[in-house]
Amino acid sequence: MKHPLGNYGPVVTPAGMKEPILFGDFATAGVETLDGFRGAGGYQTALDALKNRKPEEITEIVKASGLRGRGGAGFPTGMKWSFVPKGSPKPKYLVVNADESEPGTFKDRELMARSPHRLLEGILLASYAIQSHHAFVYLRGEFAFLEPLLAQALDDARAAGLFGKNIGGSGFDLEITLHLGAGAYICGEETALLDSLEGKRGQPRTKPPFPAVEGLYKCPTVVNNVETIQSVPFIVKNGADWFRKWGPEKSPGTKVFSVSGLVNQPGNYEIEMGLPLSQLLDKYAGGMRSGAKLKAVIPGGSSVPWLTPDQIETKLDFDSVAAAGSLLGSGGAIFIDDGVCVVDALLNLTHFYRHESCGKCTPCREGTHWMEMLLHKIEDGEGGTQDVSTLKTVAEQILGRSLCALGDAAAMPILSVLQKFPDEIDHHLTAKRCLVNERRESVERVRRAEPATV
Amino acid sequence: MGVTGSRATIGVELKSAGKPLAFEKDDRDAIAQMAARYPDRSSAVMPALWLAQKRFGFLSKEAVAAVAEALQIPEPEVAGVATFYSMYNLAPTGRHILQVCMTLSCSLLGADALLAHMSKKLGIEPGETTPDGKFTLRKVECLASCGTGPCLQVNEQVFQELLDPASVDKLIESLP
């Protein structure tokens, strides 16, 4: 569907549900405007909570719902909120992480573009729960085109008394500041984001102290992803048990998965947690395009270990994907076809991590550089067994040795591919060339083919 | 072995604009308003740099000094921020910066071939600007348009998605 702010796919009702939750908003005509959103009952939950419920009740509902952070780490949201010290005389801050830049992930962009007021309502509820009177939205620089939309939504809501002083006569005050980044993947890491928001180079901090205790301007801060925040109004409105109707015990609710690669119907799909990967591919994304055969899946954004086609029945929830040796991450599922050389694909990603390493920690800064160089050598048919073994050693030495997850994110995919595709790596060493060197031709061929009707 | 071409690079020398630069009153007022939106004025460095880039074309040594002066923040701190983020331009650019996403999902959908096509059509390599100053071609990392690749972004505008050689030619020809 062509939307003024991008091409977005169709909204599909998740299997076993009457209607989608987050994507349910998109069915309301004019939901992106204040009137449209309020007409469908928007802001009612927040206004009611501000007047009739205690902040701790909101935290308790979210805690009981089992909602886990949708940005990648999957940390329980209510628990994160409860770490904010109650008696602290310092101001508290809520920061929304809208720095969506994990390769393969494009869900927050659609959520914000199509239902900006849902984000604002979530901010209102989360801020009230942690008693923050100043919230920030950190929008990645490349999303500058979304800034006017969000600013308009905020202005309209403020004019209607939904932000500012004494919101809805509740006595609660809240201001929101939109902050535009300027191009840096690392700012999606919460402490790097906070440094960036303070006007510094975006580099991760040593933890502890965790942001809930010492975050923005050394004050207690909660950093939550866009999808997490947009889920909050639904949970507060309908209750924790309602949210737990979907998904397994430890990963309740629905989750938006971004699907990319040579599939028939790429796009964002809100599905019930715990659905098999095969259903996401076949039922929602329409399967692989004609002529493209599945070779590997990166289930949770480019930072996670790869899965192979024999793992296609892996259930999509935090624990099941972890048990399969990967991570659910941000839910950016990249389907890799057999026309792709795994070394070439790894080289692409390793180049990304090398480019995006902030330079603070030596293992990540130097290690990503070495890994890219070694992968280049192997891909170009100039590598030997020693290079593969060095690559493995470097990746293992990065693991767990940098302040943030970027180092691990660069190393994990490489280690999983070395383990799962040894023949293809060997072929580069013995035949001195790529096993799939017709990749571009193959991609062009499949691109020219008509996508199957879904 | 040095690390080059990444944001980990330190000690980047800012280019000179060849003349002193200063903000007009309106811009100074705008920067004061930016600072008022944060509990600490140092947070306004990024929006002020965005404004400086719009006003002065690129972030020269003098543009950075103007931001430092307007916010009363040490110049090296502002320079550190200006050189960290990839959307801040440290050299003059063409009127339209064509930023082609090269990361995996777009690459699977043919970004490499698209870039090669654009490079040939414009007669420049990625990182270069056409002699008439109209276009700068640039490779960028994931833009979050992975399901609708290959894609590119012109300056800070909404993404151009689902591109192929014909539609990218049309796009290039349509830009003033």
Q: Chain A: give the shortest CA distance to residue B99, in Å.
A: 10
Which pTM does this prediction carry? Answer: 0.95
CATH fold for domain B96-174: Glutaredoxin (3.40.30)
Residue B136: predicted pLDDT:
98
Burial degree of A323 (CB within 10 A; 0-12, 13-18, 19+)? exposed
The answer to whether the Cβ–Cβ distance between A182 and B40 falls below 8 Å is no
CATH 1.10.10.1590 occupies which residues in chain B? 9-84
The answer to whether the Cβ–Cβ distance between B108 and A268 falls below 8 Å is no
CA distances to A155, A261, A289, B24 from A286, rounded to whole Å, are 40, 12, 8, 56
Residue A437: predicted pLDDT:
57
ipTM (interface pTM): 0.96
- Candidates A348, A366, A444; nearest CB to B104: A348
- Choice between A266 and B6, residue whose per-residue pLDDT is larger: A266
Q: In this structure, what token pair is assigned to residue B16?
A: 């000179």
Question: Percent of chain B beyond pLDDT 70?
Answer: 94
Residue B89: predicted pLDDT:
97
B40, B83, B84, B109: best to mutate for the A interface, most A CBs within 10 A: B84
Residue A1: predicted pLDDT:
67
Nearest residue of A to residue B105 by CA position? A261
Measured between CB atoms, does B89 come within 8 Å of chain A? no
Measured between CB atoms, does B102 come within 8 Å of chain A? yes
Per-10-residue mean pLDDT, chain A, length 454: 84 88 94 97 98 97 98 96 94 98 98 98 98 98 98 98 96 98 97 98 96 98 98 98 96 97 96 97 96 95 98 98 98 95 94 95 95 92 94 98 97 98 92 65 45 39
Q: Is the pLDDT of residue B10 over 70?
A: no
Residue B86 CA to residue A352 CA, distance in Å, equals 13
Q: Mean per-residue pLDDT for B30-43?
A: 97
A8, A142, A304: best to mutate for the B interface, most B CBs within 10 A: A142
Residue A451: predicted pLDDT:
43
Q: Mean per-residue pLDDT for B78-95?
A: 96
Measured between CB atoms, does A367 come within 8 Å of chain B? no
Nearest residue of B to residue A201 by CA position? B81
Q: Are B2 and A370 in contact (CB under 8 A)?
A: no
Chain-centroid distance of CA A16 in Å reads 24
Residue A145: predicted pLDDT:
97
Q: Chain A: give the shortest CA distance to residue B25, in Å.
A: 23
Measured between CB atoms, does B113 come within 8 Å of chain A? yes
The answer to whether the Cβ–Cβ distance between B40 and A217 falls below 8 Å is yes
Sequence-separated (6 or more) residues with CB below 8 Å from residue A265: A9, A259, A284, A285, A286, A451, A454
- Candidates A5, A144, A182; nearest CB to B88: A182
Question: Which residues in A lie closer than 8 A to residue B163 (C-beta atoms)?
Answer: none
Q: In this structure, what token pair is assigned to residue A347?
A: 């080289």
CATH 3.40.30.10 occupies which residues in chain B? 96-174
| DSSP state letter for B27 | H
Q: What is the 3-state secondary structure (H, E, C) of chain B?
A: CCCCCCCCCCCCCCCCCCCCCCCCHHHHHHHHHHHHCCCCHHHHHHHHHHHHHHHHCCCCHHHHHHHHHHHCCCHHHHHHHHCCCCCCCCCCCCCEEEEEECCHHHHHCCHHHHHHHHHHHHCCCCCCECCCCCEEEEEECCCCCHHHCCCEEECCCCCECCCCHHHHHHHHHHCC
Measured between CB atoms, does A194 come within 8 Å of chain B? no
The answer to whether the Cβ–Cβ distance between B43 and A345 falls below 8 Å is no
Chain A (164-193) residues lying within 8 Å, Cβ to Cβ, of chain B:
177, 179-186
Measured between CB atoms, does B165 come within 8 Å of chain A? no
- Candidates A142, A259, A447; nearest CB to B147: A259
Q: How confident is residue B6, by pLDDT bands cut at 50, 70 and 90?
A: low
- Candidates A141, A183, A266; nearest CB to B147: A266
Question: Which residues in A lie closer than 8 A to residue B158 (C-beta atoms)?
Answer: 4-6, 145
Measured between CB atoms, does A7 come within 8 Å of chain B? yes
Q: Are B136 and B128 in contact (CB under 8 A)?
A: yes
Residue with tokens 């309209």: A156
CATH fold for domain B9-84: Arc Repressor Mutant, subunit A (1.10.10)
Q: Mean per-residue pLDDT for B113-130?
A: 96
A260, A265, A373, A448: best to mutate for the B interface, most B CBs within 10 A: A260
Q: In this structure, what token pair is assigned to residue B64?
A: 């950075």
Q: Are B66 and B57 in contact (CB under 8 A)?
A: no
Question: Which residues in A lie closer than 8 A to residue B145 (C-beta atoms)?
Answer: 6, 106, 109
Q: Mean per-residue pLDDT for B89-108?
A: 96
Question: Which residues in B lie closer than 8 A to residue A1 (C-beta atoms)?
Answer: none
